[in-house]
Structure 1
């Protein structure tokens, strides 16, 4: 579950602290959040003196009357906290109680409904409002002269689709590294016994009879990682991926340089173009991490995949200006 889904099961009162704007070098980017209750702190906005001070301010807000439930603070990191990052961070503090309207709606949502809602709020003094994405787009909450300080956040942000073809040792280790991140992860295999070994609840597991039906289920614009138990199945999946190379964000194949050489020769014989073949990353993973254990291979793939995700960054760097949600729904 993501931040807002986890938040929906916390008992108020608590304070939501969020990084709204950043300028220069800062510990966390815009959108980082944490929750402060009377006896606990969940999440982080970057640690250090700034976070310590933010926790103190949130605890004071918890103890205060209902008159002021929203506060904004700007923190210059060097003069105020002696943090060498040197930038400036604007934080919002919102006290949430049983009477907070948006939270009342949030806690009544089913997990499947979260993707259909967005939180909006105005700079400095107006609490969040929870509305549907449909209503959000109808009202066109986009940047204009009267909405310069308006912020929005989908409850489920656009998540890159990671499709792992194969559920063996490397795949399971890779899933272990990827699941803490906000990614839409699916794992496909022809073996139910291997899929059943994946225990992470946020991973979609799908069982297929053959390569073609497996490949037909791979969505466009996904990051595809091929690591099945069978070289024949790997080849069929690789061929199908390369035919769709223009529609996929990434195609990675586990294996050696010798395996790549054999596959490339076969692909050329089948008429796959050199431009399509050039999209194949094999051996998948960064060469900077060497090793043959499933754990090291998975770390190497994670490193390369995160680099690719950073390059493709599907989300705005921060929320300094409002964006139309429909523009993000790719």
Structure 2
């Protein structure tokens, strides 16, 4: 097992972390990870079926028995995580063949991949609409980076939310530079000048999944004139949605606006591929059980 290198929510004890503790933490925080489970063995093997380990890009929690076989499981999981893969995959390891170990057995490992948060949201502004919107987002498996240039702007209930980072700071350009690529960004600060500076910096970055600006058509028309003068092309300006919210929504109360924006964000959520076959391929399962039976006869 691996020592915990990061603080745990709620002040839980540091020290040795088992696979089930690590799995809970990464599931709650919507962080990329894999759960590797021994689901079948034949002959002499390091661990029994049911042994599990959690694998991330930088850490490993618990063990499947060590040795080259375990390193191959870790490498396979990390390669898949680096490609953003989701879902289960079944892998076979012949100890003594592929794994170069002298046990001589055969192991099937189910690797369940969790790519992390479904969406990454960056929200600038902790006013009434921003607070209502974040309250709607926190139950979802989304990562939310919440920025406000004012001190003391964030509500007390935001403290300790597992997928929410509250980031105070007076420099909009630095905040934009620190964003992860591919974030869906919403700009709704208390100041029009700050809104415009943020849109300028976001367009200069050019790698946001979407950009939304709260306000009216006249506000956006005024911004566009200045942004053109700053050198932004029409194609770049076309990336900005203003007003924000799902079309046809009505209501001026902060919670009503937040609901309309939330509904619009849901339209950006990645589609789930629908097909008749999902998860581990039936042929892989048939081959796994065939090898199990062959191993039991030896």
Q: TM-score range by the shorter chain?
A: 0.5 to 0.7
Q: For the residues of structure 2 that align with 1:189 and 1:237, how far apart are their CA atoms?
A: 12
Name the residue aligned to 1:274: 234
Q: For the residues of structure 2 that align with 1:145 and 1:211, how far apart are their CA atoms?
A: 47
Q: For the residues of structure 2 that align with 1:189 and 1:258, how far apart are their CA atoms?
A: 24
Shift of 1:139: 3.8
Name the residue aligned to 2:63: none
Q: For the residues of structure 2 that align with 1:105 and 1:122, how far apart are their CA atoms?
A: 13
* Cα separation, partners in 2 of 1:198 and 1:296, compared to 1, 3 Å: same
Shift of 1:197: 4.3
Q: How does 1:119-198 map to 2 (within 5 A)?
A: 119-121=35-37, 126-127=49-50, 129-133=52-56, 135=71, 136-139=73-76, 151-154=110-113, 157-198=116-157
Q: For the residues of structure 1 that align with 2:33 and 2:274, how far apart are their CA atoms?
A: 18
Say how many residue pairs are matched: 219
Q: For the residues of structure 2 that align with 1:272 and 1:189, how far apart are their CA atoms?
A: 25
CA shift digits 1:273-295 (9 cap, x unpaired): 01101110111111232111110
* Cα separation, partners in 2 of 1:105 and 1:145, compared to 1, 3 Å: closer
Shift of 1:171: 0.7
Name the residue aligned to 1:218: 179
Structure of larger gyration radius? 2
TM-score normalised by structure 1 residue count? 0.56
Shift of 1:160: 2.3
User: Residues 152 and 319 of structure 1 are in contact (CA less than 8 Å); yes or no, is this contact kept in structure 2?
Assistant: no
189, 192, 204: which one aligns with 2:165: 204
Shift of 1:106: 2.0
* Cα separation, partners in 2 of 1:116 and 1:223, compared to 1, 3 Å: closer
What SS is found at the alignment partner of 1:195?
coil
Once superposed, what is the RMSD of the aligned Cα atoms? Answer: 3.7
TM-score normalised by structure 2 residue count? 0.62
Shift of 1:199: 2.2
Shift of 1:320: 1.0
1:295 correspondence with 2:255: yes
Unaligned runs of 5+ in 2: 1-7, 42-48, 58-70, 81-88, 94-107, 282-298
What SS is found at the alignment partner of 1:214?
helix
CA shift digits 1:72-101 (9 cap, x unpaired): xxxxxxxxxxxxxxxxxxxxxxxxxxxxxx
The answer to which of 104-113 and 228-237 deviates more is: 104-113
* Cα separation, partners in 2 of 1:116 and 1:271, compared to 1, 3 Å: closer
1:256 correspondence with 2:170: no
Shift of 1:145: 8.5
* Cα separation, partners in 2 of 1:153 and 1:112, compared to 1, 3 Å: closer
1:107 correspondence with 2:21: yes
What SS is found at the alignment partner of 1:206?
strand
* Cα separation, partners in 2 of 1:291 and 1:150, compared to 1, 3 Å: farther
Unaligned runs of 5+ in 1: 10-102, 323-330
CA shift digits 1:16-73 (9 cap, x unpaired): xxxxxxxxxxxxxxxxxxxxxxxxxxxxxxxxxxxxxxxxxxxxxxxxxxxxxxxxxx
1:240 correspondence with 2:201: yes
Q: For the residues of structure 2 that align with 1:259 and 1:145, how far apart are their CA atoms?
A: 56
* Cα separation, partners in 2 of 1:111 and 1:216, compared to 1, 3 Å: same
